[in-house]
Structure 1
């Protein structure tokens, strides 16, 4: 089929102002487990709108920047982290999600051991690693708690955190995603603690350990933990599942 006209001529005459052009932002959900509870890295806003409230590290995407490149830039500039694996989580596009103008946010998601956040928290006093949990009222949205109590979340970032937690809870039982929250060497107790923190339930210890060992994800290191006042537990490392074609 022959299309009429010339594409170069069409593009030369095309008016990009003919359609609305909403702004696009990237927000990062950087999660860990701290003291037996899920936690996310948050930043306190210094400017309006929502000055003094808390948000996920994020920023606007320039017209000449790819989404993935913007996520990596924000990871470095706003979260003071490098080398973390991040993946797209979901796109949030409610018309009124930002009071300034129409802003569509592409959320990215990453899991990290808690010690990876130490440098970020030291570099920027506006950052905190807040514990997150579903509100006592039973609502689907999450609360974030810092040392001063419940932290008010700006924009729709409570919804973004809820989607991230739902995704994590859905994947943790059938995938090896939980190992991203652990150091290179870990005990079976630490692995179970991570699962219990994410799922919000207590798990049967023998059944959980048998299931983990049967899946072939664990590789013994031949070492035991140090500093324990009781019999030191064996240390394992993650053995990734083989890639199949």
Structure 2
């Protein structure tokens, strides 16, 4: 019987698949990016044949774990295949082991059933953060799309649950680690940084309280550079210095406002 992994459209024989991959273990990734004051997540299209017609559905990027890989190797491989980038921030956040996770929707299950070895596939969830300016769109996988994180449509299998857990974990981690700088360009304004936090937490900060908070960040370096090409007074640009952050932090980062 010809099969394919949950996220790999390249058909191979069952014997070859089982020789290279672990049929019941996969990795799924919520890849977050920030663009034009919008938090986005990368999804990909799948074309599902049904009753002589083709249905368009969306899912998170993922794949089965190779027998020679750790799950972190698999996550790095997926990210490279999806975005063309290497060495981007990635973090494991949960394991999804519901025996019925592939059967949440009959159409999804009927599509994937001939392509898997076992009805049950345990998946490990990772989330990743990247600066969308670093991406050459020509390197994105075919049928990829950056979906607004607040407008995510129905995803296949249990991928809505995986996405929601990833988003929740991202918000919690941002309160305790300066991960926001993974989403910003190398040089940014304080207003851009504030808008990013506000977008992720779906709130608005008082500007004075926000500035008091970030003025304590010794690792936030003011540059002798200003915005260009703007209609308003150009704002000063800043950069994040991770070495200073690692050297100066004496207690856990806390961004609660």
State the match for 2:106 in structure 1: none
Question: Cα distance 1:123–1:39, how it changes in 2: closer, same or farther (>3 A)?
Answer: closer
1:179-238 per-position Cα deviation (integer Å, ceiling 9, x unaligned):
111010000000001000000001111210120111323101111111111211000001
Could you list the runs of 5+ residues in structure 2 that have no partner in the other structure?
1-21, 104-112, 114-118, 251-257
Question: Does the 8 Å contact 2:83/2:139 carry over to 1?
Answer: no
| TM-score, normalising length: structure 1 | 0.77
- Of the structure 1 ranges 23-32 and 151-160, higher mean CA displacement relative to structure 2 is found in 151-160
Q: Deviations over 1:49-71 (max 9, x none)?
A: 99621111111113332211111
SS of corresponding position for 2:75: helix
1:128 equivalent in structure 2 = 145
Q: Distance in 1 between matches of 2:66 and 2:47?
A: 22
Q: Deviations over 1:95-135 (max 9, x none)?
A: 11113310111111111122234x246643400000012xx
CA RMSD of aligned residues (A): 2.3
The number of equivalent residue pairs is 209
Q: 2:134 maps to what in 1? A: 116
Mapping for residues 125-204 of structure 1, pairs under 5 Å? 125-133=142-150, 143-144=151-152, 151-204=153-206
TM-score by length of 2: 0.74
Distance 1:80 1:172, change over 3 A: same
Task: After TM superposition, give the deviation of residue 158 of structure 1 in Å.
Answer: 1.0
Structure with bigger gyration radius: 1
Q: 2:42·2:146 contact (CA, 8 Å) conserved in 1? A: yes
Structure 1 residues 220 and 229, CA gap change in structure 2 (3 angstroms): same
C-alpha change, 1:121 and 1:213, in structure 2 (3 Å) is: farther
Per-residue deviation, 1:45: 1.3
Q: Distance in 2 between matches of 1:158 and 1:188?
A: 33
Q: Which runs of 5+ in 1 are unaligned?
A: 1-20, 134-142, 145-150
CA contact (8 A) 1:23 1:102 kept: yes
